[in-house]
Amino acid sequence: MDSRLWPCPPCGEIREFIQPTCLDGHTDDGGECPEWACVDCGSAVVFGDVGVVAGVLRLRQAA
């Protein structure tokens, strides 16, 4: 299974994210589902672009 390492807001740390089975039809046309779930807390996050990740990083620095 594909997985990525991203900062997870609820966890407050870098976590491994996996893609749950897409139920919204994102992959019907061969596209990639933008929804990822943290394997640690199960929090679902939509990563549309790197700007979202950058925003999370800023949140961590402010905390």
| Binds Zn ion by CB under 5 A, chosen from 3, 16, 17, 22 | 22
**Residue 16 lies near Zn ion (rule: CB under 5 A):** no
Give dist(CA 51, CA 42) in Å, integer. Answer: 22
**Residue 41 lies near Zn ion (rule: CB under 5 A):** yes
Q: Which helix (H) or strand (E) holds 47?
A: none
**Residue 59 lies near Zn ion (rule: CB under 5 A):** no
* DSSP E strand stretches across 1-63: 3-8, 13-18, 35-38, 44-46
Write out the residues near Zn ion by the rule CB under 5 A: 8, 10-11, 15, 22, 24, 26, 33, 35, 38, 40-41, 43
